[in-house]
Chains A and B, each alone.
Chain A
Amino acid sequence: MSSAAPPRPPRSALPLQLAGLALLLLLAVVLGTGLGSVMVPPGEVLGALWRGLSGQELVGNDVIVWQIRLPRVVMGVLVGASLGVCGGAFQGVFRNPLADPYLLGVASGGALGATAVIVGGGPRPLIPAAALLGALGAVTTTLMLAREGRRLPPTRLVLAGVVVGSVLSAISTALLLRGEDRAREVLAYTLGDLGFSGWREVGAVVPYVGLGAGALLLLARALDTLQLGELTARSLGVPVERLRLLVIGAASLATAGAVAYVGIIGFVGLLVPHVVRLAFGAGHRTLLPLSALLGGTLVVLADLLARTTPLSQVGIVTTLLGGPFFLWLLRRTRD
C-alpha cells in the first residue's frame, strides 16, 4: 500500500494495486492456515495441504489443517470479500458514506431468524435457512416500505432500513430474554463466528457470494456514472432505478448468504471501502475489486486473532482493531 499514491490514480495503476492487495490477502491466508490454537509446524501444514488437495489419506494434524483451519480461512475470505464489495457498492448507490451491507435490515433479519431457531430449541442445521429467510424478508420489507410508486428514493430506503432493523432487533431481544439460557449462543451469532465452517458450509456460501459480489463487480462502471448525480446519469442513459434495485438485490443476496452461515461480522463493509478509497481513489472499478481483497484479508486476520486470543469473536476484533485504524487513516488524510 503506497501512501504516496495520488487520490485518482491512472487506470494503469490498477493491476499493480490488485497484485499488491492480492499478495496481502495471500499472506493473511498463509498466516491463518499456519497458525492456530494448536501448534502445527510449517512442514506439516504444507504436507497436510498437499495430502488434502491430492485426496490422499489424512494423517496426524492433517485433519486440523485441511478440514478445520483451511475451510475456516476460505470462509473468511469469501465473507470478507463479499462484505467489502457490498459496502463499496452500497456507499456508491446510496451516495452515503455511512451505508454498509447491513443497512437495509439484512443483519437484524438474519439475527431474528437465527434467534428464533436457537431460542425455540430447533435443530441447529435449520439456523442458516432461518437466517437467510429472515435476512431476505427484512430487505423485501424495507424495499416495500421505501417504495414511492416506481421510484426508490435513497433517503427513504435508508430510513426504512433503519426502522425495519430496529423493530426486528427489538423482537430478537424479546425472544432472547424469554430463553435466557440460550443467550450466549445468540450473542455469539450476532458477533460473527466462523467456528464450525467446514467445506460443506463454504460450498453453501459460494453461490450467494459468487452471484451477488460478481454482479456488483460488473455494475462498477454504471456506479461510477451514478456518482455524477442522478440527473446526469439518467441523461447518459443509466436506468437509475433499475441499477439501484440490482445493486440492492445483489448485495442483499451476498450478505444474506454470509450472515446465514457466519452470523454478523460488523464494520467490515463500512471500513474497508473507505480505507480503499482513501488509499487508492474512489472509482468503483478500482474500489470494488480492491475492497474484496482487503475485506478478505481483514476478516481472515481478525478470525486468526479471535481464535488465538481471548477476544474470541471475529466481529469483536474487526470492530476493535478496524475502528481505531480507520480513525487514524481519516486524520492522516484530512486536507
Chain B
Amino acid sequence: MNRALTLTAALCAALSAAASATTYPLTLTDDLGRKVTLKAEPKRIVSMLPSTSETLCALAACDKLVGVDDYSDYPAYVTKLPKMGGLYNPNVEAIVARKPDLVLVSKYGKLAEPLTQAGITVIAVNPETYDEVFSKTLLLGKIVNREAQAKALVTSMKREIAKVEILTKTAVNKPTAYFEIDPTPYSIGPNSFMGTLLTKAGARNIIPATMGDFPKVDPEFIVKQNPQLILGVDAATAGARPGWNTITALKTGKVINVPKELNTILGRPGPRLPQALRGLAKLVHPELFK
C-alpha cells in the first residue's frame, strides 16, 4: 500500500516535471524518419502546413511564426504573415530570407533537403490519422516549449468531441453514407482521418476498410450499396449521373454538398477537429442538434 502510494507520487512528480518545460537540446525523429536536434527553444518559425499553423496558434505560439504557406488562413493572424509558397512551389529563397530557426514542413514536399543544406533546422510533422492529430499536437507542444498548453488543448478537444459523440452514439437510425471527396469519384475509407469523423458523426460508411483510405470508386458499386445519405456532391450533379436517380439518398433528398468552410476544416487535421466533427454530425443527424 505504502509502496503503491510512493510510486504514484513519484509518477505524478515525473509527469508534472515533464509537463512543465521542454529541455533543449531536444532530439526527435520526424515524419521523414530523420533525426533532428533542436539546440534551443525556436523563436522564429515558418510553418508550411495549414494544420501546423493552426496548432501553433492554438498553443499560444502564434507570435513565433514569421512566415506561413499560401494555404494557411486560420486564425486571422496568420493571414497577415509573409506567404512562403505552397507544397509544390515553395519559395525557398523567401523562407531562408526570413532567417527562421525552425521550419515545419509536410513530409510530401521537397523542402527538407535544400533548407537543411542552408543550415536551417527542418522538422516534418504530418498528422494523417485521427489519433495522430492528438499525438502530433503534443509533439508540436514539446517542440515549441508549450507542453502544458498542448496537453490542455488535447483534453479540451477530446471533451468537445465527446459532447458530439454522446449525441450521435445514441442515434437510432445511423444512415449508410457515401462521402465524395472529388467527382472522379474518390471517396474515403473508414480508417482515414475523414472516415473516422464520418463514423463518429453517426453515419455508416459504405466504403469498406479493405478498399483503402482514399479509394477511387466504381460508380456501379455506389449504386449497389444504395446509400441513404450522400455527402460532397450537389443533388443536380448526382442526379445527372447514369443510374443514380435510383439511389435512396436521391429519392429522399438526402444529397448534401458540404459547405466550403466545413470542407476546409474536414481536410485539416488540426485543433478545429471538434468543430469539423460537429459540423459533419449536424449534416448527418440534423434532428439531434435542434
A interface with B by C-beta (< 8 Å):
36-38, 58, 61, 63-64, 67-69, 71, 124-125, 177, 180, 182, 184-185, 188, 193, 195-201, 307-308, 312
Contacts and interface: CB of A to CB of B under 8 A. Distances in A.
Contact of A198 (B87, B182, B184, B243): B243
B221 A37 contact: yes
Contact of A64 (B182, B185, B243): B243
B29 interface: no
Interface of B: 86-89, 182-186, 216, 218-221, 223-224, 237, 240-243, 246
B218 A36 contact: yes
Given A180-B87, A180-B88, A198-B243, A124 B220 contact: no
A198 B224 contact: no
29 contacts: A36-B218, A37-B220, A37-B221, A38-B223, A38-B224, A61-B224, A63-B246, A64-B220, A64-B223, A64-B224, A64-B243, A67-B242, A68-B220, A68-B223, A71-B242, A125-B240, A177-B88, A177-B89, A182-B182, A184-B182, A184-B186, A195-B184, A195-B219, A196-B219, A199-B242, A201-B242, A307-B220, A308-B218, A312-B216
B216 to A, nearest CB: 5
Given A63-B246, A124-B237, 17 more contacts: A38-B218, A38-B224, A63-B243, A64-B220, A67-B242, A67-B243, A71-B242, A124-B183, A180-B86, A182-B182, A184-B184, A185-B182, A185-B184, A188-B216, A196-B219, A307-B220, A312-B216
Contacts of B183: 124, 185
A239 to B, nearest CB: 44
Nearest to B214: A184
A196 B185 CA distance: 9
What secondary structure prevails in chain A residues at the interface with B?
A: helix
Contacts of B220: 36-38, 64, 68-69, 307
B106 to A, nearest CB: 12
A307 B221 CA distance: 10
Contacts of A196: 219, 241-242
B150 to A, nearest CB: 29
B232 to A, nearest CB: 13
A69 B237 CA distance: 19
B257 to A, nearest CB: 12
List of 8 A-B pairs having minimum Cβ-Cβ separation, nearest first: A198-B242, A67-B243, A37-B218, A188-B184, A38-B224, A63-B243, A68-B243, A68-B220
Contacts of B219: 68, 195-196
